């Protein structure tokens, strides 16, 4: 019989979020070090979440420059490659997040997400361009034609919409967020706290 118990934690992310990139590069290692099962990675559409909550990205606000400097500082502190910002940023992530949803449906959630995050924030490639998303897909052996076709299906579009709506219902207000039990830990700086809670 399949194990239907919920994961110890769920990691909500959008590929356009640099803070989610920082968390994505660390979260698996932190859960492993704590002797915990890996969190479930759940793609959601941050733009859709913002529309529901009447909010916008800090990347479009007065704290943009300050925020970018902070992301670069953290990336260096974590030993990640120097951050390269895609142009434009923030961009339209709808196609990329549909691709991430298809990757999840085919069991390649983590490998695709990491490949795509690295395309965006290590290589500085704009993920609103399908060709850049397809580079990430190729890195985890997702066939480009299959991916392009899947992103047009209601099965993928609906799954992304539902995941985003469900996240909002559970109290997720931004990414990266880790849901542990019924508690939401929002922000890259709260990952360790989430790991402690999962322990």
Read off the pLDDT of residues 17-34 as tens digits, 9 standing for 90 and up.
999 999 999 999 999 999
The whole-number average pLDDT for the span 10-15 is: 98
Q: Tell me phi and psi for residue 28, to 5 degrees.
A: -65, -45
pLDDT tens column, 117-130: 999 999 999 999 99
pLDDT tier for residue 150 given thresholds of 50, 70 and 90? very high
Share of the chain above pLDDT 70, in %: 97
Of 126, 116, 144, the closest CA to residue 41 belongs to 116
Average confidence score pLDDT of the chain: 95
Average pLDDT of the residues in 137-143? 95
- Annotation: CATH topology of 10-198: Glutaredoxin (3.40.30)
Structure tokens at 85: 């910002």
**In the structure encoding, which two tokens stand for residue 90, read together?**
């923030």
Which pLDDT belongs to residue 193? Answer: 98
Q: How many CB atoms lie within 10 A of CB 68?
A: 16
Distance CA 98, CA 43 (A): 9
In sequence order, the β-bridge partners of residue 178 are 11, 185
Q: Please check whether residue 183 is in contact with residue 197, taking contact to mean a CB–CB distance below 8 angstroms.
A: yes
For 95-117, write each residue's pLDDT tens digit. 999 999 999 999 999 999 999 99
Please determine, for residue 50, whether its predicted confidence score (pLDDT) is greater than 60.
yes
pTM of this structure? 0.95
Contacts of 117 (CB under 8 A, 6+ apart): 15, 20, 21, 24, 25
> Residue 1 — very low, low, confident or very high, per pLDDT cuts 50/70/90?
very low
């Amino acid at each position: 019989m399949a194990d239907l118990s919920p994961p110890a934690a769920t990691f909500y992310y959008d590929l356009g979020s640099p803070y989610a990139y920082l968390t994505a590069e660390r979260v698996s290692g932190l859960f492993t070090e704590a002797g915990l099962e890996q969190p479930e990675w759940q793609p959601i559409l941050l733009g859709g979440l913002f529309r529901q909550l009447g909010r916008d990205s800090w990347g479009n606000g007065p704290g943009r420059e300050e925020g970018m400097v902070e992301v670069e500082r953290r990336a260096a502190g974590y030993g990640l490659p120097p951050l390269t910002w895609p142009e434009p940023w923030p961009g339209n992530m709808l196609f990329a997040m549909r691709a991430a949803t298809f990757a999840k449906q085919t069991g390649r959630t983590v490998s695709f997400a990491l490949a795509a995050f690295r395309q965006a924030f290590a290589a500085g490639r704009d993920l609103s361009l399908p060709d850049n998303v397809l580079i990430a897909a190729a890195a985890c052996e997702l066939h480009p034609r299959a991916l392009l076709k899947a992103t047009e299906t209601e099965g993928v579009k609906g799954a992304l919409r539902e995941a985003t709506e469900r996240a909002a219902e559970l109290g997720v207000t931004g990414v990266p967020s880790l849901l542990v039990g019924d508690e939401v830990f929002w922000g890259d700086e709260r990952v360790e706290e989430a790991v402690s809670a999962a322990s």
